[in-house]
Amino acid sequence: MLLVAVVTAGLVTAPAPAPADAKSMMANVAQWTIERMVRTCNAADTSCTWSFNIATHTANPTPCQYTVTGKPASHASTNGVHCGGFTISSGWSGQFGPGNGFTTLSVVDNSNKLIVWPAYTDKQLANGVVVTPNQSYAPVTLG
């Protein structure tokens, strides 16, 4: 009887297989780590500098630094920022209500056609402090 219960429990909790007509876009590579992420904004929140390293774990980390402006700059979007062989874009969202904003970046490896979407809450990015711990993301293939 115990064997039947164990087998039944396994069937109930096992994930459903992907449909035969679906293709996983997850890349067969190591996760990328965004290292030492920091966003520093001026007192008026009209200019913010982003600084971080992109570590794919297949080469030395690529440093990335750029400045955005806006009112407020902490909510400003970016598009087409180049850091080494990567292109960075970002967008801010307040969809979870006041005090719960977040920024999602897209980090594209142009030569290998891979992308990750790092995301950071406003609370993580507050006061120009480096986000700890570093965060890792699974790359997805483009095309």
Give the burial class of 26: count Cβ atoms within 10 A of its Cβ; 0-12 exposed, 13-18 middle, 19 or more buried: exposed
Please give the pLDDT value at position 21: 87
Selection from 115, 110, 118, 106 nearest residue 34 by Cα: 118
Please give the pLDDT value at position 3: 47
Residue 3 lies in a domain: no
> Could you tell me the end-to-end alpha-carbon distance of the chain, in angstroms, rounded to an integer?
49
Please give the pLDDT value at position 77: 97
Residue 98 lies in a domain: yes
Please give the pLDDT value at position 143: 81
Give the chain's largest Cα–Cα span: 68
> Residue 115 in contact with residue 106, Cβ under 8 Å?
yes
| Residues contacting residue 133 through CB under 8 Å, at least 6 positions apart | none
Please give the pLDDT value at position 20: 78
Residue 75 lies in a domain: yes
Residue 77 lies in a domain: yes
- pLDDT by residue, tens only, the chain of 143 residues: 544 454 455 555 666 666 778 988 999 999 999 999 999 999 999 999 999 999 999 999 999 999 999 999 999 999 999 999 999 999 999 999 999 999 999 999 999 999 999 999 999 999 999 999 999 999 999 98
Selection from 55, 52, 104, 49 nearest residue 73 by Cα: 49
Query: The domain containing residue 47 runs over which residues?
Result: 23-141
> Residue 11 in contact with residue 3, Cβ under 8 Å?
no
Q: What's the domain count of the chain?
A: 1
Q: Has this prediction a pTM greater than 0.75?
A: yes
Residue 76 lies in a domain: yes
Residue 119 lies in a domain: yes
Residue 1 lies in a domain: no
Residue 18 lies in a domain: no
